[in-house]
Amino acid sequence: MRQRLYKKKLFVVLSILFLYPSAFLYAQEEKATEAKNTKSEESAEDKEKDEPVKTGWNFNIFLGGGQASSKSNDDTAKADSLTQEKPSSARNQLIPTGELNIRYVFSEQWETALKLGQERNASVKYTFGSPISFTKKSDVTFSVGIRNYKYWSNPYRTGSDRRERLPYTPVYSVELGGIGPFKLGYSYMYQDYDDRDLEEVRTDIYGAPVTDSERGDLKRTGAVTKYSVSTGFPVYKKEKDIMVFILGGYNIQEYSAEGESEAYTHPGYNLGIRSGLWDFSLMLQQAWGVRQYKKENPVFRKKREDGTVMQMMMAEYKINTTYSVVGRVIQNNTESNINFYDAEGQIVMAGVSVSF
């Protein structure tokens, strides 16, 4: 399974752009400028490059839409069998998207921001984010938000519709920049599941009984923590007209579910490129990893392991200082050692961004 998955990586040398990689690059440039200012003599050219900080309110609105398609047993309300493979035909859904960013810059040192709406960078349809962040010079960012997550009350039910749940949970995160060429990140959220319907699980896929203790291993309530390190550097830059950035990083996500067969560790890597030519910018990115569960699943009698790959392409054309047109294509693939969890999905999205 891993070999099939990793062969796909050889065809793409792409990247994942983390939450604020461009902020890291600009922070590095700002520090270089400050170093020049400490010198006794400063050229007129260096002075012209220093742009004044725009204090006060800044707004950005994004309106768009697209289509999401998926082939996944986890995305259908009814499963005929737990031994079935992913659906042969895709499930399509229109996805309207809206996002509001409100930012207030106190001074050159501090700013705060509020974001409401569907996240443009989300690779899943059901993600709603409303983070509030507080930033000092792009080096330290604290944020708290609200996010929802979809789950089935009994994901092992077959032959009839599974009941969907869509609760909300707070998400806390912090990012540290200015650590040499690196940026460090940490996030935490707690997911609470109503697992009473798991009492329906009585046998495994082979017809053998599932004990009460084994059902306890299926409980999903727990904390999700994520640690990340990212870096980025320009390989070519000509003033503000032409630029090429290489970006990459490593992250590890831990899910400490009450049931050990649902708990996992998910290390992942990302690599990519971002380029800009006058008013047009293009970003290509790829992320991949292996989600490793900690204990055998008593329904499938196997310890689950999922290989994951995400590829994304985004293009943006800046019409003027106020309006931009944005397009995005996202591809997700999961190959599991349990066929029931194989999945693939695509999202195609376009919209208009307005800043004022």
Chain centroid, CA 63 distance in Å? 20
CA–CA distance, 100 with 116 (Å, rounded to integer):
5
* Bridge partner list, 151: 165
Over the stretch 255-266, which tens digit does the pLDDT of each residue have? 999 999 999 999
Residue 18 has pLDDT above 80, yes or no: no
DSSP state letter for 1: -
Per-residue pLDDT at 34 exceeds 60: no
Confidence tier at 131 by pLDDT (50, 70, 90): low
| Distance, CA of 100 to CA of 222 (rounded, Å) | 30
Rounded CA gap, 187 and 220, in Å? 19
CA distances to 16, 49, 65 from 46, in Å: 32, 5, 43
Q: What type of residue is 213?
A: S
Say what the pLDDT of residue 142 is: 81
Please calculate the CA angle 322-325-326 and round it to the nearest 5 degrees.
125
Q: What span, in angstroms and rounded, lies between the C-alpha atoms of 138 and 215?
A: 46
Q: Is the pLDDT of residue 33 over 80?
A: no
- Cα–Cα distance, 134 to 222 (Å, whole number): 27
Model confidence band, residue 54 (pLDDT cutoffs 50, 70, 90): low
Per the structure block, which two tokens stand in for 18? 């983390």
Q: Is the model's pLDDT at 82 over the cut of 60?
A: yes
Give, for 175, the enclosing helix (H) or strand (E).
strand 168-179
- Residues 304-318 as b or e (16 or more Cβ within 10 Å = b): bbbbbbbbbebebeb
Helix (H, G, I), strand (E, B) or coil at 24: helix
pLDDT at 304: 97
Looking from the CA of 140 toward its CB, the CA atoms found within 13 Å total: 3
**What are the pLDDT digits (tens) for 207-261?**
999 999 999 999 999 999 999 999 988 888 777 678 888 999 999 999 999 999 9
Give 119 or 133, the one with higher predicted confidence.
Answer: 133
Note whether 295 and 303 are within 8 A (CB): yes
3-class SS of residue 298:
coil
What mean pLDDT, rounded, does the chain reach?
79
In whole angstroms, give the CA distance from residue 188 to residue 171: 6
Instruction: Label residue 152 by pLDDT band (50, 70, 90).
Output: very high
More confident residue, 103 or 175: 175
- Written as six digits, the tokens of 297 are 């699943």
Q: What per-residue string of b and e applies to 133-156 under the rule 16 or more CB within 10 Å gives b?
A: bebeebbebebebebebebbbbbb
The answer to whether residues 332 and 310 touch, using CB atoms and an 8 Å cutoff, is yes
236 bridge partner residues? 244
Which domains are delineated in the chain? 2-32+64-355 (2.40.160)
10 or 96, higher pLDDT: 96
Reply yes or no on whether the pLDDT at 116 is more than 70.
no
Asked whether the predicted pLDDT for residue 185 surpasses 80, the reply is yes
Which long-range CB contacts under 8 A does 111-115 form with residues at least 24 apart? 111/135, 115/145
